[in-house]
Amino acid sequence: MRKAFIYIYLFPLIIFSILLSGCQSEQAQEDRNLAGTPYERTEFLMGTVVRVTVYNDGKEEALTKAFDRIESLASYITTEETEEHSIIQSINDAAGQEAVSVPDDLYALIRSAVHYSEKTEGSFDLSVGPLTSLWHIGYPDARKPAQSEIDEVLSLIDYKIIELDDTEQTVYLPEKGMQIDLGGIAKGFITDEAVNVLKDNGVDTAIVDLGGNIFVMGNSARSMSEKWNVGVQDPFKERGEILGSIPVSNRSIVTSGIYERYLEADGKQYHHLLDPKTGYPFDNELAGVSVITDQSIDGDGLSTSLFSKGLEDGLSFVNQLENTEAIFVTKDKEVYLSKGLTDFDLTNDAFTLMDEE
């Protein structure tokens, strides 16, 4: 059954702020072909609000095609109980028994997830499913597991033993009880796919937002010569309160933080970013990390990894990457930038912009 549209306007972890810099000429608007009201569609998918806004006039059909692509990919990856059994659920159910054949696009996503598990040396691990299912943070039945339960599932988390057959396009989890969880990378992959659909259909000015995985296409709809100005969420405040902003064009911003989803137990908050090695949420000085990349899947795969490394190691790691920048926010409200990020504007006096030592 087709889901009903849900037209609600929640601020994601990153919010948009289009700054005006004077009047734009009528000729500039005409050249940009941005006449009239933008086409926008919002739905609730993958447990989050998904919104796509297209600013090119006459491209409403492109918006429909982009959402068709999003819905198709979303149906593959859910691990929650639904009327339709997802392919990821089928892979997990067959753990320790047999390999499962998967479609081209899902296989590409899983292959990418393995790549990022390797690249981050397991701080992102697509086989973390048994642990996320155990804590289930963000759902009504979330709870703090007993240590014995955590110890039991930790032995099932190991991306290195997942068997992929590129010829047959099959996925095999060799240990019974293993589970793939693509929640840490799937939204990035799907965001990029939606952007590709829009590009293929003549769209050059749009915003794709998958629950905080943001991709901005082209320059601001208000001025063909200015980039989008993207506000970075204050992780200590309600959604919509920002600490600063950054101009972005044809790039993605993805944020991982500790205040978006958490469980309160024994007088303590446990956030949803779980360490595959300890079985508990990552515990360091960071409150949030925002990653700016050319592809959203890169930001998705890296954001959790950079968070897991902490401030010093996270900065060191991202500074070695090309075309990748990051904003680190500590629990002490200090803001650190990767070495190539020179145009971030801190606008909130409660925070201090620090120099990297």
Average pLDDT rounded to a whole number, residues 16-28 = 36
Whole-angstrom distance, CA of residue 256 vs CA of residue 328: 10
Q: Work out the pLDDT band at 20, boundaries 50, 70, 90.
A: very low
Q: Which of 119, 191, 93, 178 is nearest to 111 (CA)?
A: 119
pLDDT in tens, 331-342: 999 999 999 999
30 located within any domain? yes
Average pLDDT rounded to a whole number, residues 160-185 = 94
Average pLDDT rounded to a whole number, residues 58-62 = 93
Range of the domain at 36: 1-349
140 located within any domain? yes
pLDDT in tens, 308-352: 899 999 999 999 999 999 999 999 999 999 999 999 999 999 999
Q: Which of 38, 42, 48, 46 is nearest to 5 (CA)?
A: 42
Alpha-carbon separation of residue 325 from 59, 116, 280, 319, 328 (angstroms): 32, 17, 27, 8, 10
Q: What is the pTM of this model?
A: 0.84
Angle between helices 104-119 and 186-200 (to 10 degrees): 130
pLDDT in tens, 175-194: 999 999 988 889 999 999 99
- Interior/surface letters 106-121, b for 16+ CB within 10 angstroms, e for the rest: bbebbebbbebbeebe
pLDDT in tens, 237-290: 766 678 999 999 999 999 887 766 766 777 777 777 888 889 888 888 999 899
357 located within any domain? no
Whole-angstrom distance, CA of residue 13 vs CA of residue 255: 7
356 located within any domain? no
- Name the DSSP letter for residue 208: E
354 located within any domain? no
Tally of structural domains, the chain:
1
Strands 325-330 and 242-248: unpaired
Specify the CATH number for the domain of residue 107.
Answer: 3.10.520.10
- Residue 90 burial (CB < 10 Å; 0-12/13-18/19+)? middle
- Residue 186 burial (CB < 10 Å; 0-12/13-18/19+)? buried
264 located within any domain? yes
Average pLDDT rounded to a whole number, residues 27-44 = 64
Report which secondary-structure segment, H or E, holds 298. Answer: helix 296-318
Average pLDDT rounded to a whole number, residues 139-149 = 88
Lowest mean pLDDT among 134-138, 168-172, 176-180, 184-188: 134-138
